[in-house]
Amino acid sequence: MIGIFDSGYGGLTVFKEIRKLLPDYDYMYLGDNARAPYGGRGKEKVTSFSREAVKFLFDKGCHLVLFACYTASSLALRELQKEFLRAPGITDKKILGVIRPVVEHAAKHSRKGAIGIVATRATIDSKALETELKNLKPELKIFPKACPLLVPLIEEHWHKTPEARMILKKYLRSLKNANIDTLILGCTHYPLMMSDFKRFFGKKVDVLNGGKIVAESLVNYLERHHEIKSLLSKNGRITYYTTDDPERFFEFGRYFAKVPIEKVERVSLS
């Protein structure tokens, strides 16, 4: 199975795109809602929470785990790849993140080399996206901006209000002044405000749909890694797990997934 892990609901916007391109596989989606959001937490906590999530998904029979969360991908991915994939006996497992594909796309397609990044405070502070972009192309000019209020606004369904648009404008002003040509939405919640980002910047800025890019990259990954692909079952089954109230996940999750969520099971990670 393919395991998709996020701190909460945001990863469902990525999962939605993955299922469009790869509808036949079996999936487990794990939302650590009891400890979400990760976006304001330190590296140590995000790593230890993510470690428990990876262990859970591997134990459940996943061979491929995708961190559908920029905060976990920024703060914990590299360390956990080392820990889990180096351990003896674990050669049939992989952990992937969302940063690499998005960053490669941005570096490749940016016309003027001026790239903005919007994300949670933890992701911005980690400089993970910035560093990977610079590694790919040192001459890029990067403009990071933490937008910590967007996640609560989206989770409260307030993101279509004038207040949310005013807050968004304040966040984005410095990026407009910097004349960026590409914007990375470095948080899986932000695609729910895609039209507002696009309206603010107009046609001059390419606002990247990370979910779609990550999904395309996963298709490509499986083409190149038959040793993993051959281990993945294909019955089109999806199982949802949450560390908080399943009813709540059922209710709020639908709104991110854009499709009904059938069955949600509560699990304890710690």
The contact set with its own copies (CB under 8 A) reads: 34-35, 40-42, 44-45, 148-149, 151-153, 155-156, 158, 162-163, 166-167, 170, 243-245, 248, 270
Nearer to its own copies, 174 or 233 (CB): 174
| CB 243, CB 31: distance < 8 Å | yes
- Among residues 187, 192, 193, 214, the one annotated as catalytic is 187
Determine phi and psi for 265, rounding to 5 degrees: -115, 140
At closest approach, how far in Å is the CB of 152 from its own copies? Answer: 4
Packing angle of the helix pair 210-224, 99-109 (nearest 10 deg): 110
Nearer to its own copies, 53 or 107 (CB): 53
- Check if 69 is active-site: yes
157 Rama class: left (phi>0) / alpha (psi -120 to 50) / beta: left
Radius of gyration of the chain (CA): 18
Nearer to its own copies, 161 or 230 (CB): 161
In one letter, which amino acid is 232? L
Give the C-alpha separation, 100 to 218, whole Å.
11
At closest approach, how far in Å is the CB of 10 from its own copies? Answer: 14
Nearer to its own copies, 90 or 158 (CB): 158
Nearer to its own copies, 44 or 265 (CB): 44
Give the C-alpha separation, 134 to 129, whole Å.
9
CA distances to 10, 85, 158, 187 from 269, rounded to whole Å, are 19, 20, 31, 23
Residue 220 has a CB neighbour count (10 Å cut-off) of 11
At closest approach, how far in Å is the CB of 30 from its own copies? Answer: 16
At closest approach, how far in Å is the CB of 43 from its own copies? Answer: 8
- Among residues 28, 64, 65, 69, the one annotated as catalytic is 69
At closest approach, how far in Å is the CB of 247 from its own copies? Answer: 8
- Check if 62 is active-site: no
| CB 56, CB 30: distance < 8 Å | yes
- Active-site residue list: 69, 187
